[in-house]
A and B are shown apart, each in its own frame.
Chain A
Amino acid sequence: MTGHDHSHDHSHDHSELGEMDLRVRALESVLTQKGYIDPAALDALIDTYQTRIGPRNGARVVARAWVDPNFHDWLMADATAAIASLGYTGRQGEHMVAVENTNDQHHMVVCTLCSCYPWPVLGLPPTWYKSAPYRSRAVKDPRGVLADFGTVLPETTRIRVWDSTAEVRYLVIPQRPVATEGWSEDELATLVSRDSMIGTRLADAPAAARSTA
């Protein structure tokens, strides 16, 4: 662990809790004593992003777009409203744009300046999305980044990288896998991974479908 940037009373305490745990606990304690925060609100925030808001929301958006042409067209024309109609609104998803992969064009999303990411549909970003390797390379060597994920696209497929530099948030609609005719919306959603909605992977083939919670 890095982060020996600060000096405080706990820096030499090698208990099982660790330096960062103690630092965060100390801060939480002070902020609670000062009345700035409601500790129960912290629990509610954590519960929200651990159990309620995550990439299964986005997978439902994608699956709906795959089966419902009217929803698809609405999503491509006004993603904020179409996504809100499924109940996914708010913080870090106030202004949504959906971009759709085809045989000719593949979309990838990055935030080279920080970690801008559509929380209402994908939850909190993975570590790699926030990391220097992804942020530095996605705009210059996206095929190299895709290779890190085991994703290889034909050279004829144009790659379009969206650098999320304002408050507009992008959701990639992956291509519907072949041999999924007749699949229900719920079944299709199981083929949609978080990474496929950022654009670093494709939607799963039916045989590779993961079981999802």
Chain B
Amino acid sequence: MSYVTHADLGGQPGFGPVTPEPEGELFHAGWEPRALALTLAMGATGSWNIDASRAMRETLPNYRDLSYYQIWLGALEQLMLQRGQVFADEIASGEMRHPAAPVARVLQAQNVPAVLAKGSPTERVAPGPARFAVGQAVRMHIGKANHHTRLPGYVQGKRGTIEHVHGAHVFADANAQGLDEQPQWLYTVVFEEAELWGDAVPRQNLSVSVDAWESYLEAAA
């Protein structure tokens, strides 16, 4: 079965104008903060990593019809269903009908500030010397990954320049698949607008960058 993401939106046409909203407007329904908190609290049990949760969200079949926190909630349910932590009849009824599966830890209220402040840094010991250096020309790989990836479609095959070397970070593609962290060097790669969008789009005096793991890149002449 091939992997289908509905989240890779960069450069896609037809979505219309952006609707700004006031700074104080955080949630738009009473259930939204609960869905956020449930997602964070279950994430804190260590049952999956952030890349696996992104993979679940972006592959929800109705992703583009759902609001943001509906996506979060739908993915949370699926992640737990996959692991036998909840069952469909429990989600439907709101009642526990099957034994609980053990979780590594439970986030307690008094630990919330410390856990949030600590976060989950992704920088790791480098597996070896960096292959690319600042100023070097690179080309982004082409090809549809059959798994979660952080290589957006709109930069695939495009030529850019290494602007910054960030150290080695957990490789999202591997981590999302449960293949361990496999840290790689991470680079900021910057692209000129003509390279990305060609002549079909009016010039904006624009450049765009992405953060790219080393295996996304090859040296360009």
Contacts and interface: CB of A to CB of B under 8 A. Distances in A.
B28 to A, nearest CB: 7
Nearest to A128: B18
A49 interface: yes
B23 A195 contact: yes
Contacts of A46: 33-34, 36-37
Given A36-B100, A112-B8, A89 B17 contact: no
Contact of A114 (B58, B94, B210): B58
Given A20-B31, A27-B73, A130 B152 contact: no
A130 B15 CA distance: 13
A20, A92, A93 — most chain B CB neighbours (10 Å): A20
B68 A161 contact: no
Contacts of B115: 91
A43 B122 contact: no
Interface string A162-188: 111111100000000000000000000
Given A113-B152, A136-B15, A48 B112 contact: yes
A74 interface: no
Contacts, number: 306
B41, B65, B115 — most chain A CB neighbours (10 Å): B41
B210 A165 contact: yes
The size bracket of the interface on B is 35 or more
A89 B119 CA distance: 8
Contact of A50 (B26, B67, B90, B91): B26
A36 B91 contact: no
A2 B217 CA distance: 39
B190 to A, nearest CB: 8
Contact of B209 (A28, A55, A135, A162): A162
Interface string A111-153: 0111100001001101110111111111111110100110000
B221 interface: no
Contacts of A128: 18-21
Interface string B9-48: 1111111111111011110111101111110111001000
Interface residues of A, number: 94
A34 interface: yes
Given A31-B38, A34-B85, A159-B204, A133 B31 contact: no
Interface in B99-123: 100, 103, 106-109, 111-113, 115-123
A29 B95 contact: yes
Contacts of B92: 7-10, 26
A148 B20 contact: yes
Interface in B182-213: 186, 188, 190, 196-197, 201, 204-213
17 contacts: A6-B91, A8-B92, A27-B76, A34-B96, A38-B107, A44-B112, A45-B41, A45-B112, A114-B54, A120-B119, A126-B20, A127-B19, A127-B28, A136-B10, A139-B154, A166-B172, A166-B213
Interface of A: 1-3, 5-10, 18, 20-21, 23-31, 33-38, 40-46, 48-50, 53, 55, 89-95, 97, 110, 112-115, 120, 123-124, 126-128, 130-143, 145, 148-149, 155-168, 193-195, 200, 213
Given A132-B12, A168-B166, 13 more contacts: A2-B62, A10-B92, A21-B31, A38-B108, A41-B111, A42-B34, A42-B37, A92-B119, A94-B121, A133-B15, A140-B11, A149-B18, A166-B213
